[in-house]
Chain A
Amino acid sequence: MKHKLNFDEFLIFDGAMGTTLQSYGMKAGELAESYNLKRAEVIAGIHRAYIQAGAQILTTNTFSANRFKLAGTGLNQADVICTAVEIARWAAEDRLVALDIGPLGQLMEPYGTLSFNEAYEAFAEQVRLGAAAGADLILIETMSDLYEAKAAILAARENADLPIFCTMTFQEDGRTLTGADPLTVVNTLQSLGVTALGINCSLGPKEILPLVQEMLKYAQVPVIVQPNAGLPQLVEGETVFQITPAEFAAFGRKMAAAGVRILGGCCGTTPEHIKALNNILADVKPVAVKAPRLTAASSGTTTVILGGPVKIVGERLNPTGKRRLQKALRQGDLDYLLREAVDQQDHGAHILDLNVGLPEIDEKAVMVQAIKEIQGVVNLPLQIDSVNPEVIEAAVRIYNGRPIINSVNGEAQSLAAILPIVKKYGCLVVALTLDEQGIPKTAEERLAIAERIVKAAAEHGIPKEDIIVDCLVLTASAQQREVQETVKALRLVKEKLGVKTTLGVSNVSFGLPARNLLNRTFLAAALAAGLDAPIMNPLDAEMRGTVDAFNLLWNHDPDGKAFIGTYSALEDKTVAPPVPEQRDLTKIVIAGLKEEAASAVRALLQEEEGLAIVDRYLIPALDRVGEGYEKGELFLPQLIQAAETVKRAFAVIKEDLEKSKTAAVGKGKIVIATVKGDIHDIGKNIVKILLENYGFEVFDLGKDVPIATIVEKVQQEEAPLVGLSALMTTTVKNMEETIKALRHACPQTKIMVGGAVLNAEYAEMIGADFYGKDAREAVKIAERVFQPSHQ
């Protein structure tokens, strides 16, 4: 870099480019970047005006110069970016040039269809071009999705060697569009190694001030602010910004006094605003703010700080000793995992440990998929639990937020493999006090290992605040004497190292009766010794009760509000009279009573075979509901409710069949998917549940499914029937292409299609065999296809 950044003085950025270009006649919807090529002198003039106003950093006119925004404009990305950097360089002379990178304008998974890797690639192109053209630093700005910001930061770090500034934009509710609060933004961005972070655009300076103050409480790196010239106002159909340069500068001074070191302007600001800002800061120096280092994990929206009230790490996303979860993972059924995740969140977990390690599965692929799906459904930070460094790296890379890695230990090999990942992705890490010699017997030896790990981490540039020590719980049945060594070690580690701690509490009771009693007694002892984050089952009300009580007794629950709120209500509650058991399963299904269905089936299983129950009760009930729906006696929610009830009843029967080793006879395999480009999947899910209820084995590939994936699955399963769904006219063409590919690769396979824009003629036109107008129809089609005579 030609110029060293000096944060001992204020750094002043330029102001708006886009809104300024409008005054040169740029139309709404026109790409500002096209001016680099057709009106270079205008861009240069705007840059010069900002330099004369006192800006020390110029931002290149490349906000939208990404492959998505440039698509269809006829503009060449390399020309746009290189020219932009050249113009800015010419205007900047010896001042700095920041390569401007704005959002891609596409929503990322899980909200949209853009994958993390695609986003990364798009940003990487911009970074490589800008760096090669001679930019001095990279400004990633106006980000409203933390996940997208992470993709951009990694792309910047891995494709250039330049300082990275990253600013995000907030809404009036104090969060980004995708829901991140200022703490989560700071915790995530600074852990990814940016040089400076902050806020731009979004709001006016007045609205930004409290958000900036919140950021300054946590930021370990310089904070940057580039507000709009006030909130955009609509005046006679035109968007205008109404804050005068003097007002703007006054806010700038307030921000500087709060600790901001880098300032500039966004939409609506002009060289006059920057000049006023520069003048008002001329006689002041940046204020040093000392933010404490936190041990904090983040999801894409929320941050959990260890210390103070006890934080529960949910242990249930781990197949060890859980047959149902093992089976679900082997079958690629992530719904089960999601349900466990949601259950734990609902029961007060703060963080979820995630382990998908099973010998016979592709752990890396399943881990990545599981993270993507879980972070679309729950808002809790995850603790990535694996023994395989490759799995860990893949996981933390695509994770949204700041994860915890579980774990590193004192073995040289583990330190060498895990610590670089912790450093690169800015993770927290659980440090196990064991090494090549195993788990030491005494507390002192465990402390020694913890010390070694902390020291090794420091050598990698990882502060001790990023380490959570696990002194390891031994089972009382095998090593009764060592149980208290763990508690002692925990106390020592807290005292000597001042780090946060975690423990897998339930290990203590393996092989003993009344495990729960042992678990919660041990938990209480460990909490008193300074345990910050027990790894436990949040669904265990008594364990949770111990945590709640501890928080109250240790003054972590101000005025006992949380405790009283939870437990006074419980005390008042008299025992509800038992609900008379409804025995008529058919009626239960029609009424959509899920819990009752499960217990009715259990009762019936005492007297009848599982398969007989299916034939005698469930299928007739489904038929009746289906007919009622067709006749218009029932409407959609009632149909689905009944279908979900049957599904629940089936689950009980399946378990029973597995116990008795009877294999359920599937009626046949069906692959279903919402086609590429389409993201509507409720309709497809309704079809899936009905087909399953009627005994078909359904492989659901989800939504936005590439053609190749569908073809591959159909071939692999040799499925005689495929169901495709598309809701939009534009995605029907992808459906047609999928059908073509299937015809070519699997000529035997029949294809049924459905979706709002389709009808029978249209379905025939695109080459489908069947059109299913609704889920009932899909079942009838499937029954026909799988009739013995048909095959």
Chain B
Amino acid sequence: MEIPQREVLRYLGYRNQKLDQATARLIEECRAEAKALLRTGVVYRVYPIAREGDQIRLPATTLRLASKDLSRHLRHADRCVLLAATLGLALDQRIAAYARLDLTRAVVLDACATAAIEAFCNQVQAQLGAQAAREGYRLTTRYSPGYGDLSIVYQKAILEALQAYTRIGLTVTEDHLLLPRKSVTAFIGLEKGEKNTPEEKAETGGAHDRCRRCPDQTCQFRKGGDGVETQA
């Protein structure tokens, strides 16, 4: 898996500044270093959805999610993929070491890791999408705890439903942070048939759309606003 340079730059707050040779070289080194340290793991299952008001329930699990935004995200879906993905501990450990010894490298490697987990999730999603298409389904974008009103308190229950610790070593702290740090949990809706209205098409359009609906208007990583334009 390649770590897209463009995304690394975006996470570093790059806005077309002059990229001096040393910094460019550092970024290349870090991309290679991050790639070598990836211990990717993913676990997912497909669940039927039940709805109760603004709650989404996955009857085969103990999950019951109170979230208008998730309900909206999954409103055309009758099933969803529940997914947990991680880059593993090795990268975390290296970033932590650099945070003590070489801060510049820590920051760049951290950005590489952030770009990598997104790229990894995109890769998994593409495979799932192809599989779903064969069965006449299409996928929504990923929706994760922490987006909109979907609380990160649900992380623990999500990991337990997927047995994410024993399968891929993914854990959550008492304060609901995922560890290893570069990890993602997400819901992906499975919708029957083709896309309908232009509005709906836009909604499955990836990060762009997520950013548009996010309340944080000043986020430096915001896409489609003042931030760097990227392909979704």
Seen from chain A, the residues whose Cβ lies within 8 Å of a Cβ on chain B are 27-31, 103, 105-107, 110-113, 142, 144, 169, 171, 173, 177-179, 201, 232, 234, 236-239, 267, 335, 338-339, 342, 373, 376-377, 591-593, 632-638, 640-641, 643-644, 677-682, 685-686, 689, 728-731, 734, 759
Inside 8 A of B18's CB, which chain A residues have their CB?
Answer: 633
Nearest Cβ in chain A — how far from B162, in angstroms? 7
Surface stretch bound by A, among B19-27, B192-200, B201-209 = B19-27
Which of A29, A338, A339 has the most CB atoms of chain B within a 10 A radius of its CB?
Answer: A29
A680–B177 Cα gap in the complex (Å)? 10
Nearest Cβ in chain B — how far from A171, in angstroms? 7
Do the beta carbons of B103 and A30 come within 8 Å of each other? no
A201–B162 Cα gap in the complex (Å)? 16
Do the beta carbons of B45 and A27 come within 8 Å of each other? no
Inside 8 A of A731's CB, which chain B residues have their CB?
Answer: 175, 177
Give me 24 A-to-B residue pairs in the complex whose CB atoms sit less than 8 angstroms apart, sorted by A's number.
Answer: A27-B61, A28-B45, A28-B161, A29-B61, A106-B171, A107-B179, A232-B167, A267-B166, A335-B100, A338-B100, A591-B20, A592-B23, A593-B22, A636-B13, A636-B107, A638-B17, A640-B104, A641-B23, A643-B103, A677-B174, A682-B99, A682-B110, A686-B107, A689-B103
Seen from chain B, the residues whose Cβ lies within 8 Å of a Cβ on chain A are 12-15, 17-18, 20, 22-23, 26-27, 39, 44-47, 60-63, 81, 88-90, 92-93, 95-97, 99-104, 106-108, 110, 146, 152-153, 157, 160-163, 165-167, 169, 171, 173-177, 179-181, 218
Name 17 extra pairs, CB < 8 A, besides A107-B89, A178-B89.
A28-B45, A28-B161, A29-B63, A29-B160, A107-B179, A111-B179, A201-B166, A335-B100, A377-B97, A635-B15, A637-B27, A644-B102, A677-B173, A679-B173, A682-B99, A682-B103, A730-B153
Inside 8 A of A237's CB, which chain B residues have their CB?
Answer: 45-47, 81
Do the beta carbons of B175 and A730 come within 8 Å of each other? yes
Nearest Cβ in chain B — how far from A260, in angstroms? 22
A30–B89 Cα gap in the complex (Å)? 27
Do the beta carbons of A592 and B45 come within 8 Å of each other? no
* Chain A interface, DSSP helix/strand/loop, else mixed: loop
Q: Of the candidates B12, B60, B108, which one forms a contact with A28 in the assembled complex, judged by CB atoms under 8 Å apart?
A: B60
Chain A, Cβ-Cβ closest to B173? A113
Q: Of the candidates B12, B44, B93, B165, which one forms a contact with A636 in the assembled complex, judged by CB atoms under 8 Å apart?
A: B12
A731–B174 Cα gap in the complex (Å)? 10
Nearest Cβ in chain B — how far from A694, in angstroms? 16
Do the beta carbons of B166 and A239 come within 8 Å of each other? no
Q: Of the candidates A144, A232, A335, which one forms a contact with B101 in the assembled complex, judged by CB atoms under 8 Å apart?
A: A335
Chain B, Cβ-Cβ closest to A590? B20
Chain A, Cβ-Cβ closest to B9? A635
Nearest Cβ in chain B — how far from A62, in angstroms? 16
Inside 8 A of A236's CB, which chain B residues have their CB?
Answer: 46
Do the beta carbons of B26 and A637 come within 8 Å of each other? yes
Inside 8 A of B152's CB, which chain A residues have their CB?
Answer: 728-730
Do the beta carbons of A682 and B106 come within 8 Å of each other? yes
A633–B15 Cα gap in the complex (Å)? 9
Inside 8 A of A635's CB, which chain B residues have their CB?
Answer: 12-15, 17
Do the beta carbons of B175 and A728 come within 8 Å of each other? yes
Do the beta carbons of A681 and B99 come within 8 Å of each other? yes
Do the beta carbons of A27 and B60 come within 8 Å of each other? yes
A358–B62 Cα gap in the complex (Å)? 55
Chain A, Cβ-Cβ closest to B161? A29
A768–B165 Cα gap in the complex (Å)? 37
A112-B171 CB under 8 A given contacts A634-B17, A644-B104, A686-B107:
yes
Chain B, Cβ-Cβ closest to A29? B161
A232–B45 Cα gap in the complex (Å)? 12
Do the beta carbons of B175 and A678 come within 8 Å of each other? yes
Inside 8 A of A632's CB, which chain B residues have their CB?
Answer: 15, 17
A30-B39 CB under 8 A given contacts A376-B97, A636-B12:
no
Which of B46, B153, B165, B218 has the most CB atoms of chain A within a 10 A radius of its CB?
Answer: B165
Inside 8 A of B167's CB, which chain A residues have their CB?
Answer: 232
Do the beta carbons of A342 and B97 come within 8 Å of each other? yes
